[in-house]
């Protein structure tokens, strides 16, 4: 698209681009060899000889002295143009994506690896309208020995420890939009390239403001992408099956390690978060000796995305030198960090959602900011909760910093404890989030909405593995030796205190919520409560962690009933006591040929679409072992139907 004639405030930059591009092809062959040699060795002598070879007939003759500053400027300009023309072309790190629409505006966000000069959105007919972006630098993103980025294809080839990476975020608000009208847009970032300024532009896409009530929408319901093997396949099949969607509801776990930049942008295996959602992935998936390359889907360039926080959006204590994985696993409760380190910088000394909040522009609540919020999209009132805990290993090994015990070697150093499977943000009755949720559920916006959806990461009801132990604060038991020092530190999780089942679900049912969307276990299953509330986990996107339905038990450690109440840890089925619903159209079958009430597969990927025009929620599956076979719609139900 560039260079092109621009309004006067951009005229000089574009004139320089035009000058360079026009003259480069005609002068490069004549000057390239001479001036490359000049820059490598005796620049000024070569430059002088070249100047003398030019027959300049503007009323003067060469006398061996350089009498024309204009000639010198011309030659230097052409020379530099030849040199910089051979540099690798800069690109945008991502395509633009849409955030936070209002009835008359929407925000456009994109990322670069250069700070640049001006960054803008060009939109409307002929892209004549412009919105200037605000630029910020991501403060915590890094690479380390486990990154797969650039030249590092094996652990530790380039990075031996966490190393900061420079990435800039650009956000512009496009205003003055008409509800229901979609218009073209593109983004451009101006980057200095020597004497020139290059405009690096995206392809054109489309945007629209917040859809008004009554607008039929197609909304993608998804979660747990995490650069998993089938994620690119899944999102490619979304676009191939239903076309352009109008919004994305993502119930947490966008990436694995949120401060590892390449997981968001450019993992060299081809399956990073943004490429998969923008149709720019290149992920090779091998099944049964056949390899297919999947690109993901061009989705969020055209549709706003709403995200809930999962456990993989949260980093632990900041600044470890061993690895980003070690930092990710090193979260501790805020109250413990307060006692150990004081009140300042709890996002460094306890845990942090900084990168998540820097990357996305989401609705906000006064109490929770972007971590929990409510918003309206068309006929949908969406309530997004901060309900997730720290996954700890279930091992009882004496060296494990696990969900059931502390490592024996660290019993006398509380700063090295893990504190069990901690809940990051309280949601129990009486907590700020609970009180906010109670108020939101009684608001006119929620009560009057045609569709009432609550999104969170941790499951309320599931056949998956990650629902055990119960969603409650760990109960710590310390056994001491004769000297009074800790000999064993154990954690138990009373099922009767599961905050989601005991406190949150009754609120949602009383408020007549219609759908709870969650993830975390990487399975597809759905339930319906006695009050008629639909519960859906559609997280078998990139892989599975297993479904545990009779007679398949969950893999729990050998807990001693002398120390643990085994009734707290349900080995099969839904710990919340609901029966799963068998898919209504084309369920997969078990080894006995009987239909299964779930999908749990590392070969079959599933996605779900909510059609607000009809109230229909449809789930689709695609078997990657038969890549030429069609996508299968396997389940369908309606909201608002008894």
7 is written with which tokens?
Answer: 């309004």
| 226 and 195 in a common domain | no
- And the tokens for 224? 């747990």
With 90 as the cut, is the pLDDT of residue 259 above it? yes
Q: Tell me if 19 is assigned to some domain.
A: yes
DSSP state string for 622-638 = EETTSTTSPPEEEEEEE
pLDDT at residue 257 is higher than 90: yes
d(C-alpha 411, C-alpha 144), whole Å? 30
Are 159 and 200 within one domain? yes
Does residue 403 belong to any structural domain of this protein?
Answer: no
Query: What pLDDT is attached to residue 193?
Result: 74
Residues 446 and 520 in one domain: yes
Q: Are residues 273 and 363 in the same domain?
A: yes
Range of lowest pLDDT (24-38, 398-412, 595-609): 24-38
pLDDT value of position 374: 99
Angle between helices 11-40 and 43-53 (to 10 degrees): 110
Residues 619 and 528 in one domain: yes
Helix (H, G, I), strand (E, B) or coil at 14: helix
Q: Give me the domain span that covers residue 14.
A: 8-84
Q: Is residue 465 very low, low, confident or very high in pLDDT (cuts 50, 70, 90)?
A: very high
Tracing tokens 């574009």 back to the chain, one arrives at: 14
**pLDDT tens for residues 210-253?**
999 999 999 999 999 999 999 999 999 999 999 999 999 999 99
Same domain, 105 and 234: no
Do 362 and 320 belong together in one domain?
no
Residue 44, pLDDT score:
41
User: Of 84, 114, 145, which one is at a domain's C-terminal end?
Assistant: 84
User: Considering the chain, what is the average pLDDT of its residues?
Assistant: 90
Indicate if 235 and 278 belong to the same structural domain. Answer: yes
Same domain assignment for residues 202 and 129: yes
- Residues 177, 294, single domain; the answer is no
Residue 377 in this model has a pLDDT that exceeds 70 = yes
514 located within any domain: yes
Q: Is residue 394 part of a domain?
A: no
3-state class (DSSP) for residue 82: helix
* Structure tokens belonging to residue 428: 């129990």
530 and 507, same domain (yes or no): yes
Mark out the alpha helices in 493-637 (DSSP H runs): 499, 505-510
* Nearest partner of 108 among 32, 173, 23, 158, judged by Cα: 173
The verdict on residue 431 lying in a domain is yes
pTM of the complete model: 0.88
Tens digits of residue pLDDT in 532-568:
999 999 999 999 999 999 888 999 999 999 999 999 9
Which pLDDT band, with edges at 50, 70 and 90, does 66 fall under? very low
Residue 411 located in a structural domain = no
Question: Residue 202: how many CB atoms within 10 A of its CB?
Answer: 21
412 domain-assigned: no
Is a pLDDT exceeding 70 seen at residue 49? no
CATH of the domain at 122: 2.60.40
Residue 397 domain-assigned (yes or no): no
Number of domains in the chain: 4
């Amino acid at each position: 698209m560039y260079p092109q004639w621009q309004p006067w405030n951009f005229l000089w930059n574009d004139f320089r681009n035009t000058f360079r591009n026009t003259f480069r092809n005609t002068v490069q062959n004549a000057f390239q060899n001479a001036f490359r040699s000049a820059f490598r060795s005796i620049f000024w002598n070569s430059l002088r000889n070249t100047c003398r070879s030019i027959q300049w007939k503007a009323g003067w003759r060469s006398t061996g002295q350089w009498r024309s500053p204009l000639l010198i400027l011309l030659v230097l300009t052409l020379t530099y143009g030849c040199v910089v023309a051979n540099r690798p072309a800069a690109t945008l790190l991502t395509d633009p994506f849409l955030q936070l629409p209002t009835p008359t505006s929407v925000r456009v966000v994109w990322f670069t690896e250069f700070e640049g000069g001006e960054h803008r959105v060009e939109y409307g007919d002929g892209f004549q309208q412009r919105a200037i972006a605000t630029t910020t630098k991501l403060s915590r993103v890094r690479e380390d020995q486990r990154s797969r980025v650039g030249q590092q294809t094996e652990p530790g080839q380039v990075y031996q420890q966490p190393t900061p990476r420079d990435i800039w975020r650009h956000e512009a608000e496009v205003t003055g939009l008409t509800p229901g009208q979609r218009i073209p847009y593109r983004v451009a970032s101006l980057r200095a390239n020597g004497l020139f300024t290059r405009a690096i532009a995206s392809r054109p896409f489309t945007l629209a403001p917040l859809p008004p009530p009554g607008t039929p929408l197609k909304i993608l319901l998804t979660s747990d992408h995490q650069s998993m093997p089938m994620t690119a396949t899944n999102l490619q099949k979304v676009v191939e099956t239903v076309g352009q969607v109008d919004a994305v509801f993502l119930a947490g776990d966008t990436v694995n390690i949120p401060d590892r930049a390449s997981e968001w942008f450019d993992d060299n295996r081809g399956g990073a978060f943004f490429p998969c959602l923008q149709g720019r992935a290149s992920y090779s998936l091998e099944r049964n000796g056949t390899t297919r390359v999947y690109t993901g889907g061009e989705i969020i360039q055209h549709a706003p995305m709403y995200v809930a926080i999962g456990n993989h959006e949260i980093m632990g204590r900041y600044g470890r030198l061993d690895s980003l994985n070690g930092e990710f696993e090193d979260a501790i409760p805020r109250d413990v960090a307060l006692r150990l380190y004081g009140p300042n910088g709890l996002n460094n000394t306890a845990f942090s959602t900084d990168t998540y909040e820097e990357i996305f522009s989401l609705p906000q609540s006064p109490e929770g900011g972007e971590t929990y919020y409510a918003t309206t999209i068309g006929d949908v009132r969406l309530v997004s909760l901060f309900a997730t805990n720290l996954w700890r290993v279930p091992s009882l090994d004496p060296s494990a910093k696990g969900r059931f015990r502390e490592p024996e070697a660290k019993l006398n150093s509380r700063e090295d404890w893990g504190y069990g499977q901690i809940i990051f943000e309280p949601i129990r009755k009486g907590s700020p989030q609970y009180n906010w949720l109670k108020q939101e559920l009684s608001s006119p916006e929620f009560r009057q909405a045609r569709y009432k959806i609550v999104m969170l990461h941790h499951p309320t009801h599931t056949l998956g593995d990650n629902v055990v132990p119960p969603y409650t604060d760990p109960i710590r038991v310390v056994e001491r030796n004769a000297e009074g020092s800790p000999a064993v530190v154990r954690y138990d999780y009373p099922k009767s205190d599961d905050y989601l089942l005991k406190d949150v679900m009754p609120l949602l049912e009383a408020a007549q919520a219609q759908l709870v969307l969650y993830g975390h276990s990487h399975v597809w299953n759905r339930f319906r409560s006695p009050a008629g509330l639909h519960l859906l986990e559609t997280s078998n996107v990139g892989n599975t962690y297993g479904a545990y339905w009779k007679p398949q038990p969950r893999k729990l450690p050998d807990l001693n009933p002398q120390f643990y109440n085994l009734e707290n840890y349900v080995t099969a089925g839904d710990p919340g006591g609901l029966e799963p619903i068998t898919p209504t159209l084309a369920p997969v079958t078990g080894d006995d040929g009987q239909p299964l009430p779930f999908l749990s597969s590392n070969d079959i990927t599933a996605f779900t679409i909510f059609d607000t025009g009809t109230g229909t929620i449809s789930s689709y599956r695609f078997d990657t072992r038969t890549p030429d076979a069609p996508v299968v719609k396997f389940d369908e139900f309606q909201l608002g139907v008894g």
